[in-house]
Amino acid sequence: MPPLSRIRPAIKAAGNRALNGRPSVMPRIRVPVSAYVVDCAVYVDGERLKGRWSHDAAIDEVRARGEGFVWIGLHEPTDDQIEGIADTFGLHELAVEDAVHAHNRPKLERYDDSLFMVLKTVCYVGHAEPTSANEIVETGEVQAFVGRDFVVTVRHGRHSGLQEVRRRLEADPEQLGLGPAAVLHAIADHVVDTYLDVVETIEDDIDEMEAEVFAPRSAMDPEQIYVMKREILELRRAVMPLLKPLHKITEGYSSLIPHEVRSYFRDVEDHLSSVAERVAGFNELLTTLVDAVLAKTSMRQNQDMRKITAYAAIITVPTMIAGIYGMNFDSMPELHWRFGYPAVIVVILALCGLLYRNFRKNGWL
């Protein structure tokens, strides 16, 4: 960003022009590319060269040496910020548009002599109880442009950092020496490992939810199961579409991925297949839990209706007798009998007690 010593005179001059009655145009201050660059490094034989590099200086150094590669990481750049990098590395405009605007499905595309891969990142959102959470899975994106002598990664989201991936690779020069394909593998492996961690945590939540559903006299709200099912579907949209891109890499989709690196991708594909199976199982289990909750709710409603019906039948007896004696006829049985009132009360209690006993015996009360 331009220093304040250059910005303040420009603002002051614009203000003076406005005071003199002339139209003023505020100077447009463009944020430099460096504001969106997380890290830019040159690697030769698996070792990071010392110093700080701009993207153009880094690629010039690599091509002058005739060996090594550049790895530049960006975080949520704008169209203006990625334009210079796209020109320097020769990135395809369609892939650049996808990288800037995000919200893509996991995919792998080949453009001339480069690859463009999109991976969805996921993060488990901590909560007190799965039965009261509104959000369980938060998603982001990592896009990677891979060429013969460069890797450009673009991240979207707060949890999609690749610092740990870079640090782990730099600690393994032999792996990093395999080139940009090794970086792509490390990113995919990191993302899939995150899937495994999230799936294991969600499995604990579903187990807790399942125990709550089948606990005696529990009042599980089906709305919370629908929330969990929605989050599982979001996780599924991140996992399932990635199976095909990884399979394409293992089948030799591009010469940019050498044979020795494709074997590592097979391991990542196996892990992803395991995650996909578990996610599919979660979806089926949650559907079963929804059916169980609805059946439990229906059963509880039937029990309530039986109780209401039983009590209504019991109340009908005194209501009917009171209705008959409230007709005010002169000639009614026991109307002028001294023990008529106690006798009616005894009959009402006896009939009500008999009905209560029968309903209780049949499980209605």
pLDDT at 161: 82
pLDDT at 130: 57
Residues 152 and 89: their CA atoms lie apart, in Å, by 9
Q: Give 139's strand partners.
A: 122
pLDDT at 16: 45
Domain boundaries, the chain: 1-30, 31-297, 302-361
pLDDT at 9: 44
Residue by residue, DSSP assigns 208-240 as HHHHHHTSTT----HHHHHHHHHHHHHHHHHHG
Mean pLDDT split into 10-residue runs, the chain, 365 residues: 42 42 40 67 93 91 93 90 89 90 89 92 75 73 94 88 91 93 95 93 88 79 84 91 93 89 93 93 89 82 82 85 76 72 83 84 78
The fold adopted by the segment(s) 31-297 is Beta Polymerase; domain 2 (3.30.460)
- Which tokens hold the place of 231? 């989050």
Closest CA to 124 of 108, 113, 110, 135: 135
pLDDT at 357: 84
Q: What is the pLDDT of residues 247-285, one digit of tens each?
A: 999 998 888 999 989 989 999 999 999 999 999 999 889
pLDDT at 144: 95
Contact 150, 138 (CB under 8 A): no
Residues 221 and 111: their CA atoms lie apart, in Å, by 50
CATH superfamily, domain at 302-361: Magnesium transport protein CorA, transmembrane region (1.20.58.340)
Q: What is the pLDDT of residues 285-322, one digit of tens each?
A: 988 888 888 888 787 778 778 888 888 888 888 888 78
Residues 192 and 106: their CA atoms lie apart, in Å, by 12
Q: What are phi and psi of 142, to 5 degrees?
A: -130, 125
Q: Give 260's strand partners.
A: none
